[in-house]
Amino acid sequence: MASYVAPFYLKKFGSPEHPQELEDKHFCIGYLNAVSGQIMTMDFEKDGQKLEIAPNYIMSVNDSRTYLNAAIAGMGVAQLAPFMADDAIKRGELIRVLPDWEHESLP
C-alpha cells in the first residue's frame, strides 16, 4: 500500500513530509471495515520503523471504488494498493506522497 493525493489537494494543502502530519496537518479518507464497523488505521513502515496513525479523517467509506474516487476528487490522502492507483496516476489524477513510507497490502 502507498499514499496518494490528487493534484488539487497538493496545490491547496501541500505534501505531507512525515506520516504523523496526517494526524493534524492534513485530511485523509478513511476506509471503514464493514465487518468490525471500525475505520482502519493508516499503517506505515520505513527502515524497520512502524507507525500506526489515526489521521484526521474528513470522510470514511466502505467501498474501494468510492475510496479511490474520493482521493481523485481531492478529498484527502488515501492509502491504496498500487494496482488500484495505476490508471489514475497515468491520467494525472493521483500523485504518490510519502514515497519512503509504505506498508504491506492487505491480503
What is the pTM for the complete model shown?
0.91
- pLDDT value of position 26: 96
CA 79 – CA 73 distance, rounded (Å): 15
CA 68 – CA 62 distance, rounded (Å): 11
- pLDDT value of position 105: 62
Pairing of strands 28-31, 57-61: parallel
Contacts of 71 (CB under 8 A, 6+ apart): 4, 5, 6, 29, 77, 78, 80, 88, 94
**Mean pLDDT, rounded, of the chain:** 93
- pLDDT value of position 107: 47
Q: How confident is the model at residue 56 (pLDDT cuts 50, 70, 90)?
A: confident
